[in-house]
Amino acid sequence: MTYPPYVYIYDTTLRDGTQREGISLSVQDKIRITKILDDLGVAYIEGGWPGSNPKDAAYFEAAKDLPLKHARIAAFGATCRVGSTPAEDENIQMLVQAQTPVVTLVGKTWLLHVYEVLRTTPEENYRLIADSIRYMKALGKEVIYDAEHFFDGYKADSEYALETLKAAHAAGADWLTLCDTNGGTLYWEVEQIVCEVRQALPPEVKLAIHTHNDGELGVANSLAAVRQGAAMIQGTINGYGERCGNANLCSIIPDLVLKMNVQCLPNGVETLKHLTHVARTVAEIANLPPDSHLAYVGRSAFAHKGGIHVAAMRRTVQSYQHIDPALVGNEMRVLISDLSGRGNVLSKAEEFGMDVSGEAARQVLDEIKRLENLGYAFEGAESSVALMLKRAQPDYKPPFELIDFFVVVENRRGRGMLAEATVKLAVGDTLVHTAAEGNGPVNALDLALRKALTPLYPRLAEFTLADYKVRILDGHNGSAAFTRVLIETQSAAERWSTVGAGTNIIEASWRALVDSVEYGLTMTE
């Protein structure tokens, strides 16, 4: 099978992607993402629908003078309205005013939409498509025609669906996009239908594919279309989009380059190294947490937990990875849990720059398995693992040791609820005994610990509590349930997580807190 020599990437994050629930981009957000996508090397950036809202119109005004290196900006809109001409259609004129070199026009393919949505005749729909495209071509625009609901329309009436494409081609459309708008088509149906379309149209017609992910097949359907000659893929960064999202370009691009040997970006493999950064930066701009489990670019995409897997990878890294994560700018991670083997612990020690013996690794692994059986979870608290490895070294001396602590919580008249903590620590040969008040027992313990140690370790003043999470592990026990506490701490340059667990939430919090301080004092810059 011969693939197209080059597949053009058409990014619609700024239009279709923003239809995802929870995304709202400002004009400046969209300009930032435009520059990022251009640096990546996508061929087309669909900036929005200028006829739908003032913000998209403002974006096109701001984008027209951008010094883009690779991408062409496209404005999106519909064919003219039933009974009107392009010259008198307000939405068409808004597309003209956007002053983009590319215009993408969406039109109806499915007779269901012609009859029930447009409330018109099949012949009038042909006219809407042809007149709108001819009008834009006369203005010197590159025109991409999006055949909305194409696959549903083709399955309902293949002859009519093909006639709409022929009308678009005859009017001068540069690209014909086959859209799986409802996202329910299966990949073998896409491949068969694109093959039939290719055979029914003149050989010079350039086909594109636009898929949604409602059947979890957005990526597969896009690649299936390429197998039958589609030379453009429309999609979004991280698969953002309405309902279940659009085809995810962060999977499609490496699939094309690394799996199918099809070029789709300038400089090919070299450009891929920026993909993970692009995915996470766009997520940050969209104010969404990056999806850790995305293929290729997710934080967990190359994370290994099973002991057998890690043991094999310590011998040959390809044994449990389909690509080198560095190719897409990602990295391999080894996780620690009760599923781990000794290789996981040794790999984690190497990651932290420690030389740990096999026997010490086994002892730490046994302790991890014991604690996880009690309710600890070390996947999200690797700094606690680092301390266990550190403490296993024979020459390690902790910066402080707990003698005892005492916490009281009471309701004082005129002051309300108040917590007070007392801690007694040994720092070398020095005994430190301090107390502090806080707005809760954990806050009081934290303040007392800092009060005791900061005079001896001034760096502690730089550490701040970034997050505090509590999870009840056996809710059926009510207030006596086993509790896990995860604490995230940060300094100016680093952020680390530690864990504690137990039936007493104060004790669990203390363990996580002490690990947090000890790690910060011994293992951060």
pLDDT by 10-residue block (mean), the chain, 525 residues: 89 96 93 96 96 88 93 97 94 95 96 91 95 98 97 97 97 98 97 97 97 98 98 98 97 97 89 93 91 91 68 67 89 62 61 67 72 70 78 82 88 77 90 89 89 90 86 64 83 85 85 88 78
Q: Is 238 exposed, middle or buried (0-12, 13-18, 19+ CB in 10 A)?
A: buried
Residue 334 lies in a domain: no
Residues in the chain: 525
Residue 280 lies in a domain: no
Residue 152 lies in a domain: yes
Residue 274 lies in a domain: no
Residue at a domain's end among 265, 296, 319: 265
- Within 10 angstroms of residue 453's Cβ, the number of other Cβ atoms is 22
Domain around 418: 401-523
Q: Is 289 exposed, middle or buried (0-12, 13-18, 19+ CB in 10 A)?
A: exposed
Question: What is the model's pLDDT at position 1?
Answer: 65
Question: What is the model's pLDDT at position 331?
Answer: 81
Residue 67 lies in a domain: yes
- Within 10 angstroms of residue 391's Cβ, the number of other Cβ atoms is 15
Distance between CA 483 and CA 16 in Å, rounded? 42
Find the distance separating the first CA and the last CA of the chain, reported in whole Å. 55
Return the CATH number at 458.
3.30.160.270
Residue 469 lies in a domain: yes
Question: What is the model's pLDDT at position 400?
Answer: 87
Residue 270 lies in a domain: no
pTM for this predicted structure: 0.75
- For every residue of 180-214, DSSP letters joined together read ETTS---HHHHHHHHHHHHHHS-TTPPEEEEEB-T
- Within 10 angstroms of residue 310's Cβ, the number of other Cβ atoms is 25
Question: What is the model's pLDDT at position 313?
Answer: 59
| DSSP state for residue 191 in the 8-state scheme | H
Regarding whether 71 and 220 lie in a shared domain, the answer is yes
* Cα dist from 266 to 8, 12, 37, 72, 522, whole Å: 10, 19, 12, 14, 45
| Partners of residue 235 on adjacent β-strands | 11
Return the CATH number at 253.
3.20.20.70
Residue at a domain's end among 238, 265, 292: 265
Question: What is the model's pLDDT at position 40?
Answer: 96
Task: Of 92, 106, 94, 100, give the one whose Cα is nearest residue 34.
Answer: 100
Residue at a domain's end among 249, 265, 281: 265
Are the C-beta atoms of 462 and 468 separated by less than 8 Å? no
Distance between CA 523 and CA 515 in Å, rounded? 11
Residue 324 lies in a domain: no
Query: Which tokens go with 280?
Result: 């996470």
Number of domains in the chain: 2
Are the C-beta atoms of 132 and 105 separated by less than 8 Å? yes
| Partners of residue 416 on adjacent β-strands | 412
Which SS3 state, helix, strand or coil, does residue 177 take? strand
